[in-house]
Amino acid sequence: MTSSPFPRGKVSIVGATTFGQGRAPGFQSSDLAAIAARDALAQAGLTPADVDGLFFCHPTDTFGGLSFAQYLGIHPTITDNSRVGGSAFQAYVEQATFLLDAGLIDVALIAFGNNQATATGKLATTIYPMTYEAPYKPINPVSSYALAAARHMHQYGTTQEQLGEVALAARSWAQMNPEAFKRDPLDMETYMASRTVSSPLKVLDCCLVTDGAAAIVLTRTDRARDLIARPVAVLGAASATTHREISWMEDLTVTAAKDSGARAYAAAGVTASDIDVVQVYDAFTINTILFLEDLGFCPKGEGGRFVEGGAIAPGGRLPVNTNGGGLSCCHPGMYGLFTLVEAIRQLRGECGTRQVTDPHLAIAHGNGGVLSSQATVILGSPETI
């Protein structure tokens, strides 16, 4: 294993929460994020005034980080509202860890909120159609993911039912999560009969459009131990970008998660077989299959067969997206932070009936654009440091 520059275990998470998943009428996006931020900070006895590193995404505000600093009434040393898509939050963990370890900041707040479902009922976006794709009228993002799914089916024999298995597993987990938005039962017959949006993807292959907010708080591990009993350690984190539009993704069946995952594992000194609980950004069912392959849980091309027979559902061989994922829990436009919160909650043992037995290692993987930017975080219990 090559040596990693990542400061393994030097930074820990001392607060993590969600707010307003599903529908949150009466709130602006920043209100939702502020409430989640307040609650995440409070878990460690902190307030907004303690934050000197602010990492924030607003669904539409180009200057979102500045606006949120103003909202919180703070003057951060580091303010970041970079936009690499839904993987931004994993990238924030990576960057905040280096900044904390170097002593440039002492308390990092990573926050997100979106009221899109209540405000417009549609995915809130500021994305411009690409000149050389627009004439063909792809329905993005779904058509781009559909092109990847079609290619995976062609090369590896992945089936519609295997995509359906991902949707069914997510729903089964959601049924055990009181915060999840879609909790009604789902069976394969209903999945197969559901409307095709952009073949091969059906409406039940697509993530939800909901409101929601989340926040996490990071500080150096030595201080974290003074704040709470069992901080969650950041063991590894890494990012990678391969393209923007699907037309320029070199291999539609291999994502940059292969690269970000390998570097995150190297930083943490663990492999996929060590991981107890998996959270991946499931914007579409094909994502879960691609990321299970690229993060090393099964060989390339085997993702469809891997998820068969309820293997990633409750009681299966690998617990994946235990909150119900973007498919059934919530998807407020950018879902990456919610994978982190669920991983943290599992490691803290807060997950009620969906709690995985005594997990010590969790992976939270973020995806941005159309499989364009990938970022992976590996988290551990205090014992793993």
Residues that bind another protein (CB under 8 A): 131-133, 135-139, 143, 146-148, 150-151, 154, 195-201, 245-248, 252
The distance of closest approach from Cβ of residue 238 to another protein in the complex, given in angstroms and rounded to an integer, is 23
Please state, in angstroms and rounded to a whole number, the distance separating the CA atoms of residues 346 and 356.
7
Q: C-alpha distances in angstroms, 43 versus 20, 37, 47, 229?
A: 18, 10, 10, 11
E runs forming strands in the chain: 11-22, 53-57, 78-80, 107-114, 196-198, 201-202, 211-220, 232-241, 277-280, 361-368, 373-380
CB of 151 to another protein, least distance (A): 4
Residue 349 amino acid letter: G
Closest distance to another protein from the beta carbon of 253 (Å): 10
By C-beta, is 88 or 283 nearer to another protein?
A: 283
Give the residue with the Cβ less far from another protein, 200 or 261.
Answer: 200
Nearer to another protein, 95 or 198 (CB): 198
d(CA 305, CA 163): 10
Q: What is the 3-state secondary structure (H, E, C) of 83-137?
A: CCCCCHHHHHHHHHHHHHHCCCCCEEEEEEEECHHHHCCCCCCCCCCCCCCHHHC
Cβ proximity of 282 and 241 under 8 Å: no
Alpha carbon distance 376, 257 (integer Å): 7
Closer CB to another protein, 31 or 133, in the complex: 133
**Shortest separation between residue 139's beta carbon and another protein, angstroms:** 6
Q: How far is the CB of 284 from another protein (least distance, A)?
A: 12
- Residue 201 CB, nearest distance to another protein (Å)? 8
Residues in the chain: 385
Using the minimum distance from each CB to another protein, give the nearer residue, 131 or 357.
131
Closest distance to another protein from the beta carbon of 371 (Å) = 13
Q: Which C-beta is closer to another protein: that of 26 or that of 136?
A: 136
The C-alpha atoms of residue 375 and residue 349 are separated, in whole angstroms, by 24
Of residues 112 and 145, the one with the C-beta less far from another protein:
145
